[in-house]
Chain A
Amino acid sequence: DAKTTQPNSMESNEEEPVHLPCNHSTISGTDYIHWYRQLPSQGPEYVIHGLTSNVNNRMASLAIAEDRKSSTLILHRATLRDAAVYYCILRAYTGANSKLTFGKGITLSVRP
């Protein structure tokens, strides 16, 4: 499985934007970039995903480098409820390789 690399942790102030980086230099042409987050004592939840173009949804934005070897999850205004572990995961489009393989993720702390 293609792997991702994330910093261990990051701190942010409430109501400020947060940029969470992810490196995936061995990404293949059919891998989608997925982001999930896990709030304390909960199962992971889907945040956003993309293939080549930048993506926006109600939760976040995903900026993908032109060579697709890195991406950044952007939370536009961090809240205390955004404190969680964020996982950047590469997922094949279909078939047996569509499983999600979790790395260590990045722990985001939000200061009031």
Chain B
Amino acid sequence: SAVISQKPSRDICQRGTSLTIQCQVDSQVTMMFWYRQQPGQSLTLIATANQGSEATYESGFVIDKFPISRPNLTFSTLTVSNMSPEDSSIYLCSAGGSLGYTFGSGTRLTVV
């Protein structure tokens, strides 16, 4: 199965700023996803990162707040824009495979 490198692993950011999270997969994958996991909660899907086209966002998530890039079949970025303390969470990247999906270890974001 694919191996995912996600960075940064954690960051503390000032409100009003933006953070870009990178997700690198060690093999070409068709599907990549971005999730958010708030403390003590389950994972919530933010969007599907589509290669060569705009990401597909889930209800409650918009491109202006969470712009996503997917320039090729092994890489994607998620930007958390104009951050507020409510954006403090763990953000996880996932990549699809024939057997199952692999997840990165997550980016722990704290907004102060």
Complex contact A102–B100 (CB within 8 A): no
Residues of A within 8 A of B101 (CB): 36, 46, 100
Of A9-17, A37-45, A72-80, the stretch lying at the interface with chain B is A37-45
For chain A, give the interface size range: 10 to 19
Complex contact B33–A42 (CB within 8 A): no
Minimal Cβ-Cβ distance residue in B for A105: B42
Residues of B within 8 A of A49 (CB): 99-100
Q: Flag B1-38 by CB within 8 Å of A: 1 or 0 each.
A: 10000000000000000000000000000010101000
Count of chain B residues near A, Cβ 8 A:
21
Residues of A within 8 A of B94 (CB): 43, 100
Complex contact B100–A43 (CB within 8 A): no
Complex contact B96–A43 (CB within 8 A): no
B102 adjacent to chain A (CB < 8 Å): yes
